Amino acid sequence: MRTADRTELSPARLAALTVVPFFAGLAVTVVVYFVVRDDLPSRVPTHFGTGGADGYGSPGRATAGNLVVYAIEGVLFLIASLAREEQRTVRPTLVAAWAVSVTTTYFLCALLLAGDGSVPAYQYAAAPAAGGAVVLGSRLLSRRKA
C-alpha cells in the first residue's frame, strides 16, 4: 500500500468527508427536480418493486423521498468508516462513498427526467458505470501522482 492509502484522519474529519458526496448528490437531484418539475406529471412513481412501479405520489414527495435514500447511504458509510481503526483510510472510504453517491444520483435523476418512471433499460447499466468511472478515475489519478 502506498503512503497516501494509509493517511489517517480524525474520526470527526473522516465523518465530515464521508457525508459530503451524499449532500452533493442530493443537491444535484434537487436542482434537476426544480429544472424539470413543470414537465412532470401530477403523480410519479415513489416506490419500485420487482414488477416495476408500485407506489405513486407527487413529484415533490418523490424528491423528498430521495433525501431518505441519501441519508441511509450516508449513515451506512459513516458507520462503516468509523467502525474500526484500520478502516480509517482516506482513499478507499471516500472513493467508495463518491462512487455510490454518483450511482444513486445518476439513477434518481434518470427517474426524474423520465417523469413517469419508465427508465430505459440501458440506464440500469449506465448508473453503476458512472460510479465505476469514479473508481477508475481515482485509480488513474493515484497512479499519476505516484
Q: Which of 71-75, 87-91, 137-141 has the highest mean pLDDT?
A: 71-75
Classify residue 115 by its DSSP letter.
S
Residues forming beta bridges with residue 45, ordered by sequence position = 56
Average pLDDT over residues 88-93: 66
Q: Is residue 82 within 8 Å of residue 15, measured between CB atoms?
A: yes
Q: How confident is the model at residue 79 (pLDDT cuts 50, 70, 90)?
A: confident
What are the grid coordinates assigned to 29, written together? 437531484
Helices 59-83 and 11-36 cross at an angle (nearest 10°) of 160
